[in-house]
Each structure stands twice: as C-alpha cells, then as structure tokens.
Amino acid sequence: MKNLIASLALVMAITACSDKNPFVQEWNTPYGTAPFSKISEADYKPAIIRGIKERAAEIEAIVSNPEAPTFENTIAAYELSGELLSKTVGVFYNISESDATPSIQALVDELTPVLTAAEDEVFMNKAFFERVKAVYENSSELTREQQMVTKKLYENFVRNGIALDEAGQARFKEINSALASLSQKFANNLLAENNAFKAETGVTVSAYPDFMTSCADRAAREKAFKAYSSRGNNGNDNDNNAIVLEIMKLRTEQANLLGYKTSADYLLANKMAGNPETVDKFLGEIMASAMKKAKEEIYDMQKVMDEDVKAGLLPAGSKIQPWDWFYYAEKVRSRKYDLDEDLTKPYFQVDSVRKGVFYAANKIYGVNVEEAPEVEVYNPDVKAYKLTDADGSLLGIFYADYFSRETKRGGAWMNNFRDQYVKADGYDVRPVIVNVCNFPPATEETPSLLSIDNVQTAFHEFGHALHGFLTKCNYRDVSGTSVTRDFVEMFSQFNEHWAFQKEILAHYANDYRTGEPIPEDLVAKIGNALKFNQGFMTGELCAASILDMKWHELSAEELAGFTDAQSIRDFETKVCKEMGLIDEIIPRYRTTYFNHIFNSGYSAGYYSYLWSEVLDCDAFEYFEKNGIYDKSIADRFRRTFLERGGSEEPMTLFLEFRGQEPDPGALLRKRGLE
Ligand SMILES: [Zn+2]
C-alpha cells in the first residue's frame, strides 16, 4: 500500500504542470502563434491533464451557478471554457499527424483515452445537461447563431444518450465500448488481409489501381481483382463478416434506444441531407446517369479489346470483365486524350502552384497573402504566411506544410491550430490554420513538380483554409469549418474549380526551366482528361454510397435475418442489382473491406462526397453564368457561406445564396455524364 501511494505521488509529480510549461504561459509571439522551439514533448501531457482539470472546474462553476440558466451563463460560458486544453490539443494533434516521432505516437496512444474519457464526462453530466436543456427550450429570443450553438450542444448530449433512463444509459455505454473494439478488430483484420493481398500478388493495396492500369497479363489482373475484392471475406481468422453483422446490430440497437427505427435515420437526423429518403433519391439519379455513360465506356474499351483478340493476344469472344476496366480505360485514354503528365509537370512547380492558389483567393475574395518569416514553424519544410483582408485587417496565420516525410501520415488535410471565436471582452481571436499535403519533395535534379491531382489537392485544401479564415462567428463550435460532414467539402471542392481556369493558369503555370506559359492545347487536354472514365469512377463511388445506405437502413428485425457470410453476399448482390450496377463494375468498397463505414466516421455518410460535389458544382455554375470573377457574386458567396460557418442550417444558407435547391444535374455536367 505504501508503495502504491509512493508511486502515485511519483506519477503526480511527473505529470504536475509547472507554470513554466510553455502551454500555461501567454504566448508573446507574433500573432500569438505557438513558440514551437520552446515546446518539448514532455510538455504535452502535463498541460493536457491540467487543461482537463481546469475545464472540469469551469464546468462545475457553470453547473453550480445559483442563477437561472441563461445563454450567457451556460452556453457562452461553456464555449469559452477549456482555453488551456484547446491551446494544447490544437498543437498536440496537429504535430501528431504531421510530425509524429515514435514518442509522440506513444503519447497519442496514452492520451487519446484520457481525452475521450474527459469528453464523456462532460456529455454525461446530467446537471449540466439540465441547464443546457433549459436554455435550448427557451431559445426563441436568442440570435440565430446562439440558437445554433445551443442546439448543437443540446443534441450532442441527447445523441450520446443523456435522456435515457439508467438502464438505457448503461446499455448505451456498453454498446459504445463494444463498437469501439469491434471497429478496431475490423481494422486489424483488414490490415492483415491487405498484407496477405500483397504477399499473394506482390502489389500493395494503394498501388492496386496503378497495377491494374499497367499490367498487360490478363490472368494476373484477374487474380489480383479477385484477391482484392474478397479481402475480409476469406473464411479465415481475419474474416470480417461476423464483425460487420455485430456492428450493424449494435448500431441499430443504439438508434432504437434513442427512438429511431434504423441507424440511417439516427445518423442523418443532424446532417444537411436530413433523412435517408433524400439521400437515396439523390444517389439513384446519379447512378442512372453514371451507368448510361459506363455502357458507352465499355463500348470504347471493347473495341480496343477486339483488336487484341485480332492480334491473337486474347482468345476469340473475350469480353470486358471487371479486371479489365483500368487496363483498357488507360488504352482508350491515351488514344483519345494523349495527355502525358511528364509534359504538364514542369508547369506545376510547387512554388508556382502555391502562388496560383493565393492569386485565385485574391482575385475572387480580395484576400492578400504574404510570407511571415517572423512566425515560427514546427518543421523546416513548413512556411508561414499572414492573410489580410482587402481593408488590411488580419484574417489569420497560415502554415503550408506541403512535402511528404516519414513522420507525416498519408493524404492531405486542413486543420486549425487555433479556432476563430470572440472573447468575452469582444476581442476577435483570428485562426491559425495549416494545410498538410504529401507532395513530392525536390530531388537533386528537379524542384518539386506536381501532378494534376496534386494541383487540385493544393486548391482543395486551401478552399478549406478559406472557409476557416473568412469566418466571422462568435463561438468556436460553429465557426469556420465546424459544419456538418455533408456540407464541409463543398468549400474545398468549390475552390478546385479555379485550378485550371485560363486567367489563373496564366498567372502561375510557367515552365520552371524557361518561364514559358503552359500552351493552350495542353490546358484543353487537361480539361478533357478530367472528364474521362467518369461513368466508371462515378459508378463505383455511387455504388459504395448506396451499399452504405442500404446497410444502415436495415431494421433490427431485418438484421436478425442475417445469419452467415452467405447472407451478406446475397444482400450485396441484391442491392447492386436493384441500383442498376452493371456486372463490369463493383462498388469501390465491398462490405468486408469498407473501412470508411465500419471503422471511420462515414457510416451512412459515404454519400457526403457526391452530395458536397453537387453543392459546389451548382454554386460554380451560378458563378459561371455571371462571369466567374464577378465581385458581387463572390461577395455574396463569402457573406452567405464562408463568414457564417455552422451558424445557420446548411440548406437555409444554400437557398439564400442560390434561390433554389441544389441541382444534381450540375455534378453530372461537370463529370460529363449528361
Ligand atoms: Zn476536403
């Protein structure tokens, strides 16, 4: 016992947060940005522990306030609480994704459950909930933004089961922890299956599309396709079938506890789309157009295949199969469009592209971007910038972290180091935002040269950044990109539309060796290539979105009818048939390797990509009708959407801007499907 007390004291001593900890001190740095050189890895844990305690005390003070609950003394007080925690976590999570040493990784593993438990503590606090509820039920006099903040907080409680009776709450929590471990199991199995796929075929999962595009050996393609599409469904130790059923049954039970018939009903209730019917109708329309186009694409590919038959490379009567798609699509592409990325890359040197990204923001919104060498960065690869508005006022600080490195996870993303919000004394805290990408670093021979896809990514992520910078909200929880999942990509994808516009290209796309501007025929080829193979691409994406919806639309009774792996296969087959998917295409993800929906936040949400794309295409068409650099439209876009974050319902904002509901036709036209 003595030992225990002694070791506890030791832990307390180690984790005690001294006032010298850089997170506790005020940052007297340019724009209050993080003093990275003063922060050591040992500073995170004590600051987070102290931050959690401070916030708990602040919430306790809110709860024990003898005055009747008001927006100010409850919701606004909560919004302003936890300053040390946000300040620390803002740095910690960003570093853990983009500059994760093994010791940072270990800290993430250690602190994630601590942070999750602290969050649970807040949203299981009944006394706190009662105050929030009182404000929520009497919110008619509040501003619209205050109503939205209150609603969001209230729903967070309710959706976490606070209103359930004791037994219901206990079951809810039990399901949460069961789901967490099932998702982890799903992911672990998938990882093992991915490794097995590589062992069997010599190809990694991420290199699969490239392999299928370039592999001339049809039998090898067939083998790879079959191995790829049966991951998690091999009846071995890593089989995901039983796990999927268990996950779906538990999710549905949770939805039932909260009064929803299916988990799709529950998951969509707080999204822009609002309900499963709306999503189903939307996806159905896109699917029909995609399949029409896909049939034309097969026709073109079959012609090339017939030539291979004639040349004796394939047996007579060979028809396009799912494992032929990538390969023959590439053959059609190179014939039709003749676009060689080795020719485009010299025009997309990374510094030029960044210049183009900033130039577009200036041309559209009047935003100015200048280098800020006085701002410290966390890695020598990172560059800091200051963004100001047309009137010279500060919008925020931007870090561009573009190059891949070992300590960075894959992909590209935008994140906040600091959110925008207004302090109690009226001071407008401006955001600190990062764009992280995995662009190829310079080599000894060449500077960093970007692919067309990379260029789109740079514009995409800066679109998120603009959403974060132009925000004019009062409360953290609704400012900037704090909007629903099916709305947030609208702004990043919207910004992509400018990447290859003539006027913008003229400003940035110059050959890094000669300074020559990109020739017009090459620009035209890029435009055409972006519309290529869209029947297939849209079809497989849409099919996965529908499959996701259909799983989550099953009731508890229907799920009880699933007994084994075969019943899952039969369900997939039926769903694909009903959606009109042709045999040559399979969903981008099949059930047993659909990580987005069984181990990530995209359950009944994979449609979000297409949904957001409709919004951005529709908005862009509106710009096109008026000339894409029309100041008044851009101003309206900025005032309606970018300044308001989540302070109003997304559909209300969209109607306000557009005067009508989003038209799926806009997506079809952009993808060349109409
Ligand atoms: Zn995005």
What secondary structure does DSSP assign to 591-637, as a single string? GGG-HHHHSSTTTTTTTHHHHHHHHHHHHHHHHHHT-TT-HHHHHHH
Residue 78 predicted with pLDDT over 50: yes
**Residue 562 CB partners (closer than 8 Å, separation 6+):** 245, 568, 571
pLDDT of residue 144: 97
Question: How far is the C-alpha of 300 from the C-alpha of 309, rounded, in Å?
Answer: 15
Q: What tens digit of pLDDT does each residue of 233-252 get?
A: 999 999 999 999 999 999 99
Question: How far is the C-alpha of 186 from the C-alpha of 247, rounded, in Å?
Answer: 10
The DSSP code for 409 is -
Confidence of residue 2 (pLDDT cuts 50, 70, 90): very low
pLDDT of residue 180: 86
pLDDT of residue 304: 97
Computed over every residue of the chain, the mean pLDDT equals 94
Confidence of residue 4 (pLDDT cuts 50, 70, 90): very low
Cα dihedral 549/551/555/556 (nearest 10) = -150
279 token code pair: 């999503």
Q: Taking residues 503-515, report their average pLDDT.
A: 96
394 token code pair: 């500060």
b/e map 32-68, b = 16+ CB within 10 Å: ebbebeebeeebbbbbbbbbbebbbebbeebbeeeee
Ligand 1 centre from 462 Cα, in Å? 9
Ligand 1 centre from 452 Cα, in Å? 16
pLDDT of residue 11: 46
Ligand 1 centre from 591 Cα, in Å? 24
pLDDT of residue 8: 42
Q: What tens digit of pLDDT does each residue of 404-456 get?
A: 998 888 788 999 999 999 999 999 999 999 999 999 999 999 999 999 999 99
Question: How far is the C-alpha of 302 from the C-alpha of 320, rounded, in Å?
Answer: 6
Kindly tell me the burial class for residue 186, based on how many C-beta atoms sit within 10 Å of its own C-beta (0-12, 13-18, 19 or more): buried
Q: What tens digit of pLDDT does each residue of 256-291 get?
A: 999 999 999 999 999 999 999 999 999 999 999 999
> Which is it for strands 383-388 and 394-403: parallel, antiparallel or unpaired?
antiparallel
* 486 touches 273 (CB < 8 A): yes
Ligand 1 centre from 192 Cα, in Å? 28
615 token code pair: 């919004």
* 582 touches 615 (CB < 8 A): no
Ligand 1 centre from 58 Cα, in Å? 34
**Cα-trace Rg, the chain:** 26
* 438 touches 404 (CB < 8 A): yes
Ligand 1 centre from 609 Cα, in Å? 9
Give the catalytic positions in this structure. Answer: 461
Ligand 1 centre from 348 Cα, in Å? 21
Question: How far is the C-alpha of 558 from the C-alpha of 258, rounded, in Å?
Answer: 19
Ligand 1 centre from 490 Cα, in Å? 8
Q: Taking residues 86-109, report their average pLDDT.
A: 92
Question: How far is the C-alpha of 83 from the C-alpha of 54, rounded, in Å?
Answer: 9
* Highest mean pLDDT (candidates 114-118, 329-333, 538-542): 538-542
292 token code pair: 């029409």
Question: How far is the C-alpha of 625 from the C-alpha of 213, rounded, in Å?
Answer: 38
Q: Tell me how far CA of residue 370 lies from CA of 198, 377, 638, in angstroms.
A: 46, 15, 21
Helix axes 241-257, 166-201, angle to 10 degrees: 160
The DSSP code for 237 is T
**Residue 116 CB partners (closer than 8 Å, separation 6+):** none
Ligand 1 centre from 410 Cα, in Å? 14
Ligand 1 centre from 51 Cα, in Å? 30
Q: Taking residues 177-201, report their average pLDDT.
A: 92
Ligand 1 centre from 460 Cα, in Å? 6
Cross-strand partners of 400? 383, 435
Ligand 1 centre from 557 Cα, in Å? 37
